[in-house]
Amino acid sequence: MSAWPKPATAALLLLLPGHGISQKKIDKLEKKVQQLERKYQDQKKPVDRAKAFAKLLPRAIEEATIEIQRGAVDRGVERIEKLRAEAHKVHDALVVAVENPVRHSNGFVQLQVALRESVRDLRDTLDIVPYQRRNAVAAARADFQQINNELLQELFPPPPPPKPRKKKHAMTGGSP
User: DSSP letter string over 17-51?
Assistant: TTSSS-HHHHHHHHHHHHHHHHHHHH--SHHHHHH
pLDDT interval class at 1 (50, 70, 90): very low
Q: Is residue 47 part of a domain?
A: yes
Q: Is residue 130 part of a domain?
A: yes
Q: Is residue 170 part of a domain?
A: no
Q: Is residue 105 part of a domain?
A: yes
pLDDT, residue 25, reads 86
Q: Is residue 5 part of a domain?
A: no
Do the Cβ atoms of 121 and 65 come closer than 8 Å?
yes
User: What is the number of other CB atoms lying within 10 angstroms of the CB of residue 163?
Assistant: 6
pLDDT, residue 26, reads 86
What value does the mean pLDDT take over residues 126-143? 94
State the Cα–Cα distance between residues 61 and 68, nearest whole angstrom: 11
pLDDT interval class at 4 (50, 70, 90): very low
Q: Is residue 129 part of a domain?
A: yes
pLDDT interval class at 6 (50, 70, 90): very low
What is the CB-side half-sphere exposure of residue 138 using CA atoms within 13 A? Answer: 9
Do the Cβ atoms of 37 and 29 come closer than 8 Å?
no
Query: Is 20 exposed, middle or buried (CB count within 10 Å of its CB: 0-12, 13-18, 19+)?
Result: middle
pLDDT over 60 (residue 173): no
pLDDT greater at residue 10 or residue 35: 35
Do the Cβ atoms of 61 and 116 come closer than 8 Å?
no
Q: Is residue 57 part of a domain?
A: yes
pTM, full prediction: 0.78
Amino acid at 107: G
Count of structural domains, the chain = 1
Q: Is residue 3 part of a domain?
A: no
pLDDT interval class at 34 (50, 70, 90): very high
pLDDT interval class at 37 (50, 70, 90): very high
Region class of 161: left (phi > 0), else alpha (psi between -120 and 50), else beta: beta
What is the domain range of residue 38? 22-154
Do the Cβ atoms of 81 and 122 come closer than 8 Å?
no
